[in-house]
Amino acid sequence: MKQIRIKEALELGWEGTKNNWPVLLGLFAVYFAAQFAQSFMQEMLSAVSLSTFGFWGLSMAVNILLGLIVAQFGLRIAVEKGARAASFGDLDLEAELVGRYFVASLIPIGVVFAVVFVLAFAFAIFAGVTVGLGALSDKATVEGILKSLGGGIVFFVVGFLILLAGLIYAGLIFAFATLAIIHQGLGPLESFKESMRLTEGIRGDLVMLSLAFVGLMLAGLLCLCVGIIPAIMVAFIAWPAVYLQALEQSGPWPTV
């Protein structure tokens, strides 16, 4: 039976943070500077009434690339058991890896947008038909139309809650997909299958680990917000450490 050693992962994250803090601090400085620059540019474009759709796409691409870089650092430190291992020179930004990582990152985003669009479209159709039939009725009243429309609102809310539950579950079963791409060199679809295999039997442990991360973040905020940066560093090293634990217990991805 697989079981995640949460305490061990968090301790490794702390050791990795202590041993690699100069590089990690520089990495997070770059990350937050990029986030600030994106927010500033978006405000500038909005101020001059320019379309931000293209900028939104560029911003998403930048965030995915930054995610790849952060994941590589965390995985490298976790592989070395928290030893001083992080170096910008070790980054792998080859086109093939970046492409596979981008595809694996975009697939969930596309699925979410598609489901939300279907829900919104279904609600719009329901609302339009309800209002139209109500308006054509001889006994149509505003109150009656609003009551009928309430059914569509309930449908939308229930659908949204189901979508939210599905996203949380998908987040658990596909939690290791991008790490599998970086560490094992798998393709996007293979990485999702591998993540399902690795998380089988430990999804409850992953929920507990996520709650532990929340506790770390809150503790960091209570320390005059200064502790939030080390808390984030510990979390982003501990997560790949848990991935490696799951891989060790599940065995390598079957190639045949």
Tell me how far CA of residue 215 lies from CA of 19, 21, 55, 212, 219, in angstroms: 23, 21, 34, 5, 6
Residues 150-178, mean pLDDT to the nearest whole number: 78
Of the pLDDT bands very low, low, confident and very high (cuts 50, 70, 90), residue 198 is very high
**Looking at this protein, which amino acid is placed at residue 185?**
G
Of the pLDDT bands very low, low, confident and very high (cuts 50, 70, 90), residue 192 is very high
Per-residue model confidence as pLDDT tens digits over 66-114? 889 889 999 999 988 877 766 777 788 888 999 999 999 888 877 777 7
Number of neighbouring beta carbons within 10 Å of residue 195? 24
Do 78 and 5 form a contact (C-beta atoms < 8 A)? no
Output the average pLDDT for the chain: 80
- Rounded to two decimals, the pTM is 0.81
Do 178 and 191 form a contact (C-beta atoms < 8 A)? yes
Of the candidates 200, 191, 177, the one whose C-alpha atom is nearest the C-alpha of residue 2 is: 200
- Beta-carbon contacts of residue 119 (< 8 Å; ≥ 6 apart): 156, 159, 160, 163
Domain ranges for the chain: 6-250
Rounded to whole angstroms, the Cα distance separating 239 from 72 reads: 12
